[in-house]
Amino acid sequence: MLEYFLLFAGAFAAATILPFYSEVYLAALLMERPEQWPLLWLVATLGNTGGAVVNWWLGRFMLHYQDRRWFPARKQELERAQRWFQRFGVWSLLLAWLPIGGDALTFIGGLMKVRLDLFIALVAIGKGLRYLVVILFADALLF
């Protein structure tokens, strides 16, 4: 049971600004419990999507702190990201799984006031597919 909690926590952390690679831990658990891949997939997907919701919340409600020195993005960067998001639309959230830029997309999703239910659906689809690819890749390598 502890392993599932650690997988959830690692996947959650990986979706925030914390440096963590949940795919490595998922692959290690798959080596021990290959028959439990559906549950491992679900736990990782829920954790990673939950972490993305934190980013959405930060984007949605923390913008009034953008003039503070500790704020993670400069005004010009935010404006550029907003233009990019407006150009490609809400469907770009399907790419929130990307290792570079994915977390920023979830922050911008909040900034652009994407409805939370739509945000969760799109992000969960993308992240769930990513973990499914990890599982299939691990299966092909291990068995």
Collapsed DSSP state (helix, strand, coil) of residue 108: helix
The per-residue pLDDT for range 16-55, each reduced to its tens digit, is: 877 778 999 999 999 999 999 999 999 999 999 999 999 9
Distance CA 72, CA 44 (A): 26
Range 84-91 contact pairs with CB under 8 angstroms and sequence separation of 24 or more: 84/108, 85/109, 85/112, 86/112, 90/114, 90/118, 90/122, 91/122
Threshold 0.85, pTM exceeds: yes
The per-residue pLDDT for range 62-108, each reduced to its tens digit, is: 877 888 887 766 777 777 777 878 888 899 999 988 887 788 889 88
Spans of all domains in the chain? 2-142
CB 86 within 8 Å of CB 105: no
Collapsed DSSP state (helix, strand, coil) of residue 26: helix
